[in-house]
């Protein structure tokens, strides 16, 4: 996987084959907390990040931690950039 490629926390969970209830149970948190983190994971404790890496089976360097809407806005602008400059 390219080091520049990152996926959302939500996508990491889905790619690992888990729903919010299962993942939140393994993380030791309420499913609504996970839903909140999936929208904005910018203040996630490092201990939870490491647990997410272990549970989801995806290295942290491939998971975007921050505000979901910022990720989408950034990726949307990249899609609109011309390929040939």
Tens digits of residue pLDDT in 17-63: 999 999 999 999 999 999 999 999 999 999 999 999 999 999 999 99
For residues 29, 24, 5 and 43, what is the CA-based torsion angle, rounded to 10 degrees? -10
Give the residue extent of every domain in the chain.
7-76
pTM of structure: 0.80
Count CB atoms within 10 A of the CB of residue 8: 19
Count CB atoms within 10 A of the CB of residue 57: 11
Whole-number Å distance between alpha carbons of 3 and 45 = 22
Task: Report the candidate in 62, 73, 69 with the shortest Cα–Cα distance to residue 12.
Answer: 62
pLDDT exceeds 80 at position 78: no
Return the CATH architecture of domain 7-76. Orthogonal Bundle (1.10)
Chain center to CA of 18: 13
């Amino acid at each position: 996987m390219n080091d520049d490629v990152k996926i959302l926390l939500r996508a990491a969970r889905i790619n690992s084959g888990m729903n919010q209830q299962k993942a939140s149970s393994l993380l030791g948190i309420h499913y609504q907390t996970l839903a909140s983190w999936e929208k904005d994971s910018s203040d996630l404790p490092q201990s939870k990040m490491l647990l997410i890496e272990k549970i989801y089976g995806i290295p942290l360097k491939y998971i975007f931690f921050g505000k979901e809407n910022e990720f989408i806005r950034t990726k949307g602008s990249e899609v609109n950039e011309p390929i040939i400059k």
